[in-house]
Chain A
Amino acid sequence: MKKLILPIVLIAVGGMLFISGCNNYNAFVEIDEDVENAWSKVQSAYQRRADLIPNLVNTVKGVADFEKSTLTAVQEARSKATSMNVDASNLNPEQIKQFQQAQSGLSQSLGRLLMVSERYPQLQANQSFRELQVQLEGTENRIKVARDRYNDVVTNYNKKIRRFPGTIYASMFGFDERGQFEAEASAQDAPEVNFD
């Protein structure tokens, strides 16, 4: 009888570890899916913005004799931003930071374009320019919502994988910390425009 106690205890402890490992693994998988899902929404919101830009540039070009440098800056920032693709399985903090930098470059040049456009009455009176502005505003709002949701999900994820005892299983199963978007000081201020 006594001989049996040790193996029983060992097996019981092993079984408990196994079950809690399973539980942790499942929880990680689930929340990892949430992160990827939230990321895909962030990307599609940014994509939506990128898709609007050729239309915007063409409209501006067609309506007004617009200053060239602003337009080329937007186009360059767009191609820079769209070339930066982050795979959902590789959302580490550096990648997110680079992605954010590329996108905020586009935000700034777009903001500048819209500010300059206010000097052109014929643009302001143009119906399709107005509609593009509405769409652009809606897209910026969608980006904001998608980013906030992504950050929430990632916060939750990072908490789970860094807490004890989850952190042991997380390193065992290879779940790494995910990057988050940072609030941009520059994005909150209106872009500066020089008229000289």
Chain B
Amino acid sequence: MTFPTARKLFLWICLLTSVSFLQAQAPIPEPTDELVNDYANLLSRNEDRQLTRKLAQYARETSTQIVIFTENSLEGYDPFNRALDIYDKWGIGGSREKSNGVLIYVAKAEQKVRIMTGQGAEGFLPDILADRIIEQIIVPNFKQNRYYRGLDRATSAIMELGQGEYTNDLQGQEQQQQKRDAKGGIPAILIIGGIILFVVLYSRYGRRGPDDDDDGGYYRGGRYDMDPHRGRRRRRGGGGWMIFPFPWFGGGGWSSGGGGGDWGGGDFGGGDWGDFGGFGGGITGGGGAGGEW
């Protein structure tokens, strides 16, 4: 059913150029299983681990996810846009409904720091408080190269603010399910009408099968819909791959993949101290504040 009109071609060109344009911008790392992502090596191994443990435990208790992301250079980017892209791609927060995530973004070379709040975190961490945390905790400590102290105290301050705001339960997922179930309205009646029409037609004309040859694929799909083969075939065929060629569109798909300690090697093989349950697909409205040291 494709009609390659000039208009469609044009749209495709737009789409392709926009995608390649996006890729030409600085690549955003794939989401990790860690809440502390110290790409600029501002923290020692032990400090990284301590922060990870603290934040993961907090995320397990409250479902509020605080992520630290440090980077060597912005490469000419605006810290807000960079933090926004990371936030969007990673989906920080316990769930999309809650969107209770906070991203602390640090660019080492430009000496810029940015706190990005998810939509559900704006309540306990409004822009003014984010600004205060940056100006009064992060900036003074970073100026003296005390990165761990700055990040540790800043996260503690955020944790205190967010205490009691959320608890870790599955309510968000249930709400999403209800929302999905509650679709409908006038079109539902149309569909029911269509089904009735179909049944009537089928009982009248469908038994002898000349039409089975006429429009084979369509009718076979309709008629044998109840057939368990259909579902199995679809699952085996991997049809979802075509629709979601980009892994980050899939939402939480990656989060269930690896366990907490998979990548790190031997020395923290045991326990789930860094496990925080995976990013839940939170979104941000652009809240937060920025500063430089």
Bound Cα distance from A146 to B166, whole angstroms: 25
Which chain B residues lie closer than 8 Å to A137 at the CB level?
127, 289-290
Known: A15-B197, A19-B194, A142-B287. A164 touches B3 (CB 8 A): yes
Q: Is residue A159 contacting chain B, with contact meaning CB distance below 8 A? A: yes
Q: Contact residue range for chain A?
A: 20 to 34
22 contacts between A and B (CB under 8 A): A1-B210, A8-B210, A9-B214, A11-B205, A12-B211, A15-B197, A15-B201, A16-B218, A18-B194, A25-B190, A41-B285, A131-B131, A134-B131, A141-B80, A141-B286, A141-B287, A141-B288, A142-B286, A145-B284, A145-B285, A163-B8, A165-B3
Which chain A residues lie closer than 8 Å to B211 at the CB level?
8-9, 12
Bound Cα distance from A164 to B197, whole angstroms: 26
Which chain A residues lie closer than 8 Å to B284 at the CB level?
145
Which chain B residues lie closer than 8 Å to A1 at the CB level?
208, 210
Bound Cα distance from A26 to B191, whole angstroms: 10
Q: Is residue A61 contacting chain B, with contact meaning CB distance below 8 A? A: no
| Residues B286 and A12 in contact, CB atoms below 8 Å apart | no
Which chain B residues lie closer than 8 Å to A165 at the CB level?
1, 3
For the complex, would chain B's binding face be called helix, strand, loop or mixed by DSSP majority? helix
Contact with A12, one of B128, B187, B215 (Cβ below 8 angstroms):
B215
Nearest Cβ on chain B to A98's Cβ, whole angstroms = 24
Which chain B residues lie closer than 8 Å to A15 at the CB level?
194, 197-198, 201
| Residues A22 and B286 in contact, CB atoms below 8 Å apart | no
12 new A-B contacts at CB < 8 Å, known A15-B194, A142-B285, A145-B286: A1-B210, A8-B205, A8-B211, A15-B197, A18-B194, A25-B187, A134-B127, A135-B127, A135-B128, A159-B11, A163-B11, A164-B8
Which chain B residues lie closer than 8 Å to A131 at the CB level?
128, 131
Count of residues in B whose CB is under 8 Å from the partner chain: 34
Q: Is residue B84 contacting chain A, with contact meaning CB distance below 8 A? A: yes
| Residues A144 and B3 in contact, CB atoms below 8 Å apart | no
Chain B 125-140 interface mask (CB, 8 Å, partner A; 1/0):
0011001000000000
Q: Is residue A93 contacting chain B, with contact meaning CB distance below 8 A? A: no
Bound Cα distance from A45 to B284, whole angstroms: 13
| Residues A138 and B8 in contact, CB atoms below 8 Å apart | no
Contact with A29, one of B11, B127, B187 (Cβ below 8 angstroms):
B187
Known: A16-B218, A145-B286, A146-B286. A134 touches B194 (CB 8 A): no
